[in-house]
Chains A and B, each alone.
Chain A
Amino acid sequence: MQSLTQRAKSVDRSPLSWLEKIYVWNIFKGMLITFGHIFKKKATIQYPEQTRPFSPVFRGLHVLNRDEEGRERCTACGLCAVACPAEAITMEAAERLPGEEKLYREEKYAARYEINMLRCIFCGLCEEACPKDAIYLSETFAPANFSRKSFIYGKPDLLIPDPVTKPEEFKEAKGLIEKKKKSKS
């Protein structure tokens, strides 16, 4: 049969020569190959100590972003929930009361914001849909758990650390987002 690609290799069906028939020489060649592999670089990544670098376009767990003063950016418009093809996002809006300006940037905010991580397909459409830069996909994945309920992530799980009270952790989380933004553009 004519080969369509140039990659196919035809198998050599010629009868074995005397040297090949006694096998010993071929066995010896095989053993040299395995011996050579002793000195090759190990492919193992020692997991808990080392982690594999993520690809620049990796989409992981969601993060609800804050602005520089530590106010939540989300305004509970519901565009992310609409955009979500897996219908993993639900939210409940509430009106910002006087005195809460330090907490929420807009007059309306999400009192409850839940993402079901078992439903989520990590497509990133919520990130695209958000008009307020409030939701981002980070470079982590959901850890294993024992119950289905614990995979419904609420606001405490999703919110980025407060830049005012916990600046270092915020920086770390922010850094991941910045890197992401750079890779996108």
Chain B
Amino acid sequence: MSISILALDWAFVIEKMVLIAIVISVSLIVAMYATYAERKVAGVMQDRHGPNRAGPFGILQPLADGLKLFFKEEVIPNNSSKWLFILGPCLAMLTAMMTSAIIPWGGTVEIGGRMIDLQIADINIGILYVFGVVSMGVYGIMIGGWASNNKFSLMAALRGASQAISYELAMGLSLIALLMLTGSLSLKTIVEQQINSNWWNIVYQPLGFFIFFVCALAECNRAPFDLPEAESELNMGYHQEYSSMKLGFYLFAEYINMFISCTIIATLFFGGYDMPFVDESKLSGVTALLTGVAALFGKTFILIFVFMWIRWTLPRFRYDQLMNLGWKGLIPLALFNMVLTAAIALYTMK
């Protein structure tokens, strides 16, 4: 084993390390400003201004919030199991960060004779990896909720877990229809197919996109599916007993999740780093790369806005409505979509 470590391609390792650092810091910054954007969007939709005191237009607000959370008193309840109490937010943050590993942030560029891919890992199972990590994300909520030794937190944790499991099914089924068209699980391949064909996947899979989008809302615990943190009936939900930066981790993980899931939706259905109406092959290497990254981020931010827009429009579902929608609404719809796609794919292939 030691020989193989020495034989590693060190330039490759350094490249990936730099990429990981960039991706993580970018997603942290985006999550930070997503909190700001959320409050701004909420403000303008309710005929208010939103935060505008810290710095010009309030752009220092997330820093002020973070600072406040850091300086708050750390409270760990007496009767909680301490290790699990700390493990909860760590898991939430970890799983939120891990998903970004397989997203292709841009095309390939040649720097100093090396082909540099703007993707941390192009693995064979691609999108399934996201599913695996997302299903792990439930543990952050469950462990945190249980370890708090508070019945409201526990209720919220159970709600979060059942919600995540129920909507993961419909999400997977809607994705299967998409994968029938692409024939590959790798996100990179999916994006390249969309660049080379005339249309993005949303044209072929509008119903699949709709189901996937609704399920993504539920998986991110966003309104109208924010039952795990229903303020009105569960006080605060699973992070009721948390304070200081541990609470901050939970909130932060939520926004990172939102960012990553918007990126994944953009990648799967909206052509990823494909800038519309621009032929990338005519541009030079670095310019093409930058337009690609800009395109992906533009699409992601539009989707994040839609997420927030929905949050500040719709009231929360009741628990039985949530389960009915998941099991009796979305799953049959996704199955129907799957069968329909399979039939059409078979028919056109002939």
Chains A and B in contact, CB within 8 Å: yes
Using CB atoms and an 8 Å cutoff, list the residues of chain A in contact with chain B: 27, 30-31, 33-35, 37-38, 40-44, 46
B47 touches A31 (CB 8 A): no
Given A34-B309, A37-B44, do A27 and B314 touch, yes or no (CB 8 Å)? Answer: yes
Please name all residues of chain B whose beta carbon is closer than 8 Å to the beta carbon of A31 when the two chains form the complex: 309-310, 313
Chain A residues with CB below 8 A from B314, complex form? 27, 30
Provide the residues of chain B in CB contact with A30, threshold 8 Å.
313-314
Interchain Cβ contacts under 8 Å between A and B, 26 examples: A27-B314, A30-B313, A30-B314, A31-B309, A31-B310, A31-B313, A33-B313, A34-B45, A34-B309, A34-B312, A35-B309, A37-B44, A37-B45, A37-B46, A38-B44, A40-B47, A41-B47, A42-B44, A42-B47, A42-B48, A42-B49, A43-B48, A44-B47, A44-B48, A44-B49, A46-B49
Q: How far is the CA of A145 from the CA of B166 in the complex (A)?
A: 55
- Which residues of A sit under 8 angstroms from B45, Cβ to Cβ? 34-35, 37-38
Sample of 8 further A-B pairs with CB below 8 A, known A34-B313, A42-B48: A31-B310, A35-B45, A37-B45, A37-B46, A41-B47, A42-B47, A43-B48, A44-B47
In angstroms, how far is the closest chain A Cβ from the Cβ of B333? 10
Residues in B with CB closer than 8 Å to A40 are 47
Among B259-312, those with CB < 8 Å from A are 309-310, 312
Q: How far is the CA of A56 from the CA of B246 in the complex (A)?
A: 52
> Shortest CB–CB separation between residue B170 and chain A, in angstroms?
15
Contact check, A43 vs B47: say whether CB atoms are below 8 A apart. yes
Question: A108–B266 Cα gap in the complex (Å)?
Answer: 84
Residue in B closest to A29 when the chains form the complex, CB atoms: B313
The DSSP consensus for interface residues of chain B is loop
Consensus secondary structure, chain A interface: helix
Q: B313 to chain A: which residues have CB within 8 Å?
A: 27, 30-31, 33-34
> How far is the CB of A50 from the nearest CB of chain B, in Å?
12
Distance between Cα atoms of A37 and B42 in the complex (Å): 10
A33–B48 alpha-carbon span in the complex (Å): 15
Return A55 CB to nearest CB of chain B, in Å: 23
Q: Give the number of residues in B that approach A within 8 Å (Cβ atoms).
A: 11
Q: Chain B residues in contact with chain A, CB under 8 A? A: 44-49, 309-310, 312-314
CB contacts (< 8 Å) of B49 on chain A: these are 42, 44, 46
Which chain B residue has the least Cβ–Cβ distance from A48? B53
Residues of A within 8 A of B47 (CB): 37, 40-44
A114 to chain B, nearest CB (A): 38
CB distance from A37 to the nearest CB of B (A): 5
Complex CA gap A40/B310 in Å reads 18
Q: Which residue of chain B lies nearest to A22 when distances are taken between CB atoms in the complex? A: B329
What residue in chain A is nearest B53 (Cβ atoms)?
A: A46
Residue of A nearest to B49 (CB): A44
- Complex interface: chain A residues within 8 A of B310 (CB): 31
What separation, in Å, do the CA atoms of A27 and B314 have in the docked complex?
7
Task: Please indicate the chain B residues that have their CB under 8 angstroms from the CB of A46 in the complex.
Answer: 49
Give B210's nearest chain A residue, CB to CB: A24
Closest chain B residue to A33, Cβ basis:
B313
Report the Cα distance A41→B49, complex, angstroms: 10
Going nearest first, the 7 A-B pairs with the smallest beta carbon separation are A34-B313, A34-B45, A38-B44, A43-B47, A31-B313, A30-B313, A44-B49
Shortest B27–chain A CB gap in Å is 27
Rounded to whole Å, the gap between the CB of B304 and the closest CB of chain A is 15
CB closest residue in chain B, given A30: B313
For the complex, what is the distance from the CA of A42 to the CA of B48, rounded to whole Å? 5
- Inter-chain CA distance A44–B46, complex, in Å, is 10
Q: With a CB–CB cut-off of 8 A, which chain B residues contact A44?
A: 47-49
- Give the interface centre of B44, B48, B313 by most chain A CB atoms within 10 Å: B313
Which residues does chain A contribute within 8 Å of B48, judged by CB atoms?
42-44
Q: Which residues of A contact B46 (CB under 8 A)?
A: 37
Q: Which of A34, A35, A40, A42 has the most CB of B within 10 A?
A: A34
CB of B49 to closest CB in A, whole Å: 5
Question: Which of chain A's residues has its CB closest to B329's CB?
Answer: A22
CA gap between A38 and B47 in the complex, in Å: 7
Cα A178 to Cα B1 with chains together (Å): 93
A147 to chain B, nearest CB (A): 29
**B42's closest neighbor in chain A, by CB?**
A34
Give the residue name and chain of the A residue nearest to B44 (CB).
A38
Distance (Å) between the CB of B306 and the closest chain A CB? 9
Closest to B306 in A: A31
Q: Which residue of B lies closest to A43 (CB)?
A: B47
A38 contacts which chain B residues (CB < 8 A)? 44-45
Least distance between A27 CB and chain B CB atoms (Å)? 6
Among B45, B49, B312, residue most surrounded by chain A Cβ atoms (within 10 Å): B45
Cβ of A19 to closest chain B Cβ, rounded Å? 15
Distance of A31 Cα from B44 Cα, bound (Å): 13
Instruction: Give the residue name and chain of the B residue nearest to A32 (CB).
Output: B313
- Shortest Cβ distance from residue A133 to the other chain B in the assembled complex, whole angstroms: 43
CA distance A31 to B305 in the complex (A): 12
